[in-house]
């Protein structure tokens, strides 16, 4: 199956192993594109912890949105426990990924079409 442009952005984010049992990144406002919501079975974010957080972990980890993937992978969003990739994304790299992600989200959400 061919990857979507957003999934290709995921590949630019360095991976690492989180602190076991940590859910620190799960209490932030979750931003997601329509395709990410569909892959995760939808989101109904109440402003508390992410609704996909169950039994101390992410129930949709493999399909989590870009913002979740960026947490602790960027020098702009460091892990409070010191976890993260050996070489995190720089501020410029993070901003470039976020700008492209927002462009793709707007495209998916139909902004800029039909006078919107």
Rounded CA-CA distance 65/4 in Å is 13
pLDDT tens, position by position, 40-92: 988 776 667 788 888 778 888 899 899 989 999 999 999 989 999 999 999 99
5, 66 contact by CB (below 8 A)? no
Q: Mean pLDDT over all residues of the chain?
A: 87
What is the 8-class DSSP label of residue 79? -
For residue 115, the model assigns a pLDDT of 47
Rounded CA-CA distance 111/116 in Å is 6
């Amino acid at each position: 199956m061919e990857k979507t442009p957003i999934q290709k952005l995921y590949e630019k984010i360095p991976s690492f192993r989180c602190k076991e049992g940590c859910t620190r990144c799960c209490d932030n406002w979750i931003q997601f594109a329509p395709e990410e919501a569909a892959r995760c079975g939808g989101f109904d974010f109440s402003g508390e912890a992410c609704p996909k957080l169950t039994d101390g972990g992410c129930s949709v980890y493999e399909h989590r949105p870009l913002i979740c993937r960026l947490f602790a992978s960027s020098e702009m969003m460091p892990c409070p426990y010191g976890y993260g990739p050996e070489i995190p994304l720089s501020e410029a790299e993070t901003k470039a990924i976020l700008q492209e992600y927002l462009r793709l989200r707007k495209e998916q959400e139909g902004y800029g079409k039909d006078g919107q």
